[in-house]
Amino acid sequence: MRLDVDADLDVDMFLRQVETFRRERRMQPECRMIRYDGTPFPVSVTMQRLHDGEREIIAGFSRDITEETQAREEARRHLSELARVSCQSAIGNRQSARWLHP
């Protein structure tokens, strides 16, 4: 499978991530990659700098997080809907209280 790194690459963000990686020697950004068929998918990339004598080695592993990303988005939608319903309920309760006790 051929993968291209981050379908939505933001160069400034990438350079900030590189600086963080140099300081912390490890990072785990989330980005999007492209499958061989051209469809993008979200991944979590774990990278770590290692030293083998004189050489510096960068090891990286990517993991498909499509299901996790979908679950987070669904949770956000549910929370948004809950907040909307709660707000409407509070407004309705206040209006009912005014009608009962003018």
Please check the confidence at residue 95 and state whether its pLDDT lies above 80. no
Q: For residue range 11-48, list pLDDT tens digits in order.
A: 777 677 777 777 777 777 778 888 889 888 989 888 78
d(CA 26, CA 50): 9
Model confidence band, residue 1 (pLDDT cutoffs 50, 70, 90)? very low
Q: Are 40 and 71 in contact (CB under 8 A)?
A: no
Please check the confidence at residue 67 and state whether its pLDDT lies above 80. yes
Amino acid 7: pLDDT: 53
Amino acid 2: pLDDT: 39
30 CB-side CA count, 13 A: 7
What lies within 8 Å, CB to CB, of 7 at 6+ separation is: 32, 33, 34, 40
Q: Are 29 and 5 in contact (CB under 8 A)?
A: no
- Does the model's pTM come out above 0.75? no
C-alpha distances in angstroms, 58 versus 46, 66, 75?
Answer: 10, 25, 35
Amino acid 57: pLDDT: 79
Span of 3-17, 41-55, 61-75, 83-97 with lowest mean pLDDT? 3-17
